[in-house]
């Protein structure tokens, strides 16, 4: 599969397929979007929102959540706000999310089945990683969106003038539903 991707890339560059995507690092719409890494959203989310290359900063992870107050999501938002001019943040979860109902115990069993030793897991846990909070998913998508929005709004390093909104997108139709975060 990797060989196919690399061959496509070679042809893409040779045929100057990149030309229609040329833009700069500053988001034209001054928006950052935090969403899930789900494959169904790769093209659906931009199409459903009418955004194109250069319009927004996209931050994606499993579940579209903030798993640590000083982790990569907050860091990315800070760069987007302080360095790239973002004024608004959209948190967009989706229907039928794989992160919903994830279970840290099951994930640990999958790790061990793939060769990760219990001693390694114990050592990482001993160093302060709480696997239950880090690897568990969520039961309620709206509640997860509200929690993520509140984590951004109440973060001590995010300025109070940044507007933050929460949504759930239907992973089939692309319909966007606003989540009441008050």
Q: Tell me if 177 sits within 8 A of 139, measured CB to CB.
A: no
For the chain, the average pLDDT equals 95
Predicted model pTM: 0.92
Q: State percent of the chain over pLDDT 70.
A: 100
CB 153 within 8 A of CB 142: no
What are 109's two structure tokens?
A: 């069993």
pLDDT tens-digit series, residues 121-146: 999 999 998 888 888 888 899 999 99
At residue 163 the predicted structure's pLDDT band, cuts being 50, 70 and 90, is very high
Mind listing the domains of the chain with CATH numbers?
A: 2-98+138-179 (3.40.1050.10), 103-136 (no CATH)
Residues 6+ apart with CB under 8 A from 80: 27, 32, 57, 59, 86
Alpha-carbon span 163 to 89, nearest angstrom:
6
Binding site feature residues for Zn(2+): 36, 38, 94, 97
Which amino acids are annotated as binding site, given as ranges? 36, 38, 94, 97
* pLDDT classification of 100: cutoffs 50, 70, 90: confident
Q: What is the pLDDT of residues 41-96, one digit of tens each?
A: 999 999 999 999 999 999 999 999 998 899 999 999 999 999 999 999 999 999 99
């Amino acid at each position: 599969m990797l060989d196919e991707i690399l061959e496509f890339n070679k042809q893409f560059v040779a045929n100057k397929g990149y030309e229609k995507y040329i833009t700069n690092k500053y988001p034209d719409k001054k928006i950052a979007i935090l969403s899930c890494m789900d494959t169904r959203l790769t093209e659906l989310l931009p199409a459903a929102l009418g955004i194109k290359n250069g319009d927004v900063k996209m931050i994606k992870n499993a579940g579209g959540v903030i798993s640590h107050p000083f982790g990569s999501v907050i860091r990315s938002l800070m760069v987007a706000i302080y360095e790239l001019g973002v004024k608004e943040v959209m948190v967009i979860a989706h229907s039928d999310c794989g992160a919903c109902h994830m279970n840290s115990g099951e994930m640990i069993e999958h790790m061990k089945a793939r060769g990760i030793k219990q001693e390694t897991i114990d050592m990482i846990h001993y160093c302060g990683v709480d696997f239950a909070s880090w690897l568990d998913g969520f039961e309620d998508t709206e509640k997860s969106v509200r929690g993520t929005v509140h984590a951004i709004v109440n973060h001590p390093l995010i300025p109070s003038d940044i507007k933050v909104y929460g949504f759930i997108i239907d992973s089939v139709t692309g319909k966007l539903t606003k989540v009441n975060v008050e």
